[in-house]
Structure 1
Amino acid sequence: MLAGDRLHWSVTVAGSRSILKFDLNRKSLDLRLLPGDYYTPLSPVKFPVMRAEGGEMGFLFLYGFIAQLWSLKPYRDGVEIWTPGRSIELDKLLGLNPEKDPPQVRGYAEENNVVFFWTVVGVFMVHLESWRFNKLSKTSIHSWYHPFEIAYTPGIGGGQDGAKVAVDG
């Protein structure tokens, strides 16, 4: 995920979940651990790196049917701390049965800030700012999804303005 002039990846190092940051200007790497309760090796937590509110780097904390956006906020003396943001109960938003398998993250399209969740009833695309969603398909857990985005430049090749999101399933 690109935020400002830095690329970010979710990584697991020595059993701890972290975010690896590459600063394109300084050409330097930095590793930032996730908040304590969320990087223990025994917890079944998913943490894809995503754009947080304000456009900076954050991550989506997914545990069971709860999705919560986290971001770094200034604390004091130049120190930043992880802060939870908005959260949503996906079973209620998407009309899922909480006694079935919980959703799984299948991809993230950063230009449109949407995440793709696999569920037992199909794949949903959820916009992370508005929490609006579209149901895309019915599928099995063994299907692969490759979200990609295409931006059209006005006046070139007869395309239209704006960005499009497509899913290759």
Structure 2
Amino acid sequence: MASLPIFMTAVANSSDEPAFPLLFTWSTHEAQVKEVLVIPDDEWLENHRIEPNAHDLDEQQLYEFGFEASDILAEWINEFDTDVIYALEPESLSLLVEATYDIKGLEPSFEVQSIHSWFQERDVDLDDAVAEQGQTTPLHLLPPDELVIQLLQIAVEHGLIDPNDIPAIED
């Protein structure tokens, strides 16, 4: 079976005018879920601020527990052997990924595509699949790690990925 797709989401500095990431969450090819806080670059903070957000992330937390963009990019380079990752909101995630690469003078090594289209290409309507699970919270309102886990569970339930490849969500 082909390697598992990578699902990714992020929390931005602003919901109205996202300019840089505060947090990235993604699945790995082994179906693990990774999450990393991002230390804001000084250049980002010159023109933008960190607004209050649903995850209560603030500048102090980012500096205390976060990682520099270069560390995050090094991890992605080691982990992502794909040209495409999938996101619920690909346009806004692309912007945040590009900001992370750009601050280091690099171009993204992958493209961000819609998770809806990934499921649709496999004859699964993501919205219907969410409703079938009894999920009443819209996907975009789920905490980032729960969103990624939910996407993996839906993929397993519809036979799109092998449940034996996903130790984190087996019963």
Same fold (TM over 0.5): no
Which protein shows a greater Rg? 1
Q: Write 1 or 2 for the structure with the bigger share of strand.
A: 1
Q: Write 1 or 2 for the structure with the bigger share of helix.
A: 2
Query: TM-score, normalised to structure 1's length?
Result: 0.30
Q: Which has the higher contact order (CA 8 A, sep 6+)?
A: 2
Query: TM-score, normalised to structure 2's length?
Result: 0.30
